[in-house]
Amino acid sequence: MFPRMLPLLVAASVLAACESDETVSKPVCDPQAHQALVGKNIGEVTLPRELPQRVISPGDMVTQDFNPVRLNIFVDAKGWIGRISCG
């Protein structure tokens, strides 16, 4: 029985040795960090490149999927930023 299990044990130990010790840090969406954008025109601001983002105008259809790192920027009909949230 042991000779049959030997290849499995070797494969498991090889796979365990390949595991990475590094943790990859993902960007964090913090709407408070971007509140300075509120009240400005979307055409005049530089949006953070490290986060996925979507600009939402009145009447726009948006997906209901939740992405915790996505920055949602709500603008009025003239492009003025009224609210920032994550999701």
Asked whether residue 16 is domain-assigned, the answer is no
pLDDT at 3 over 80: no
Asked whether residue 11 is domain-assigned, the answer is no
pLDDT at 28 over 70: yes
Asked whether residue 2 is domain-assigned, the answer is no
Residue 54 is predicted with a pLDDT of 94
Asked whether residue 18 is domain-assigned, the answer is no
Residue 47 is predicted with a pLDDT of 86
Helix (H) or strand (E) holding 22, with range, is none
The answer to whether the pTM exceeds 0.75 is no
Average pLDDT, integer, range 61-73: 93
Q: How confident is the model at residue 12 (pLDDT cuts 50, 70, 90)?
A: low
Say which residue the tokens 């943790």 belong to: 23
Q: Quote the number of domains for the chain.
A: 1
Average pLDDT, integer, range 49-76: 93
Average pLDDT, integer, range 43-62: 92
Domain of residue 36, residue span? 24-86
Distance separating alpha carbons of residues 86 and 29, to the nearest angstrom: 6
- For 80, counting Cβ atoms within 10 Å of its Cβ (0-12 exposed, 13-18 middle, 19+ buried), the class is middle
- For 84, counting Cβ atoms within 10 Å of its Cβ (0-12 exposed, 13-18 middle, 19+ buried), the class is buried
What average pLDDT does the chain have? 84
